[in-house]
Amino acid sequence: MIRKVFSASRYMMIIPVIITLGCSLFLMLHQSVSIIMTAFRMSEFLGGHSGDTKLLAIRVIEAVDVFLISIAVYIISIGLYSLFVDDKSPLPKWLIISNLDDLKDHLVSVVIAVLSVLFLKEAVAWDGNKDILHLGAAIGLVLVPLVFYLSINRNKH
């Protein structure tokens, strides 16, 4: 009896799978519309000023950041589905998640990309007044152990 309850209870993970998948889709669509609107607005005002081009570049980098976060949420959705509901879904080899360590590895990879893009955005927006060295050092202090974690985990497999 208990075995059947536990076996059936795994399907309750459909709820976070659907919610995270919906959130991922919403983030992608919202950011796509936002960047298209920004590009249209910027094209009306672009007069060849480097400041305008720089602002557009910053907006594009911000969009990439949101897309990466959306990808992380999508990976969580796929991971939960694969781990709890159906592990036979056809997925690309790089997206196969067979245990929680695989899910963590995928998420750590996305976090590394998001933090890198965050620093890139600040570097592009840098006007010489702000001290971005502290931000770079802080991000570096976070990235080093994450990269180390990934290298250790990838060597295990």
Residue range(s) defining the domain that contains residue 2 = 1-156
pLDDT of residue 89: 77
- What whole-number percentage of the chain has pLDDT above 90? 36
pLDDT of residue 51: 63
pLDDT at 9 over 90: no
Q: Read off the pLDDT of each residue in 110-139 and give the average, rounded to a whole number.
A: 88
- Rounded to the nearest 5 degrees, what angle is found at the Cα of 74, between the Cα atoms of 70 and 76? 120
Residue reference for tokens 């360590």: 101
Q: Residue 45 — φ and ψ, nearest 5°?
A: -105, -5
First to last CA, the chain: 37
Question: 19-33: per-residue pLDDT in tens?
Answer: 999 999 999 999 999
Q: Residue 46: which residues within 8 A CB-CB, separation 6 or more? A: 52, 53, 56
Please state, in angstroms and rounded to a whole number, the distance separating the CA atoms of residues 74 and 77: 5
Q: What is the pTM of this model?
A: 0.78
The number of distinct structural domains making up the chain is: 1
Question: 35-89: per-residue pLDDT in tens?
Answer: 888 878 777 666 656 566 777 788 888 899 999 999 999 999 999 998 888 877 7
Helix, strand, coil distribution of the chain in percent, nearest 5:
85, 0, 15
Please state, in angstroms and rounded to a whole number, the distance separating the CA atoms of residues 109 and 130: 28
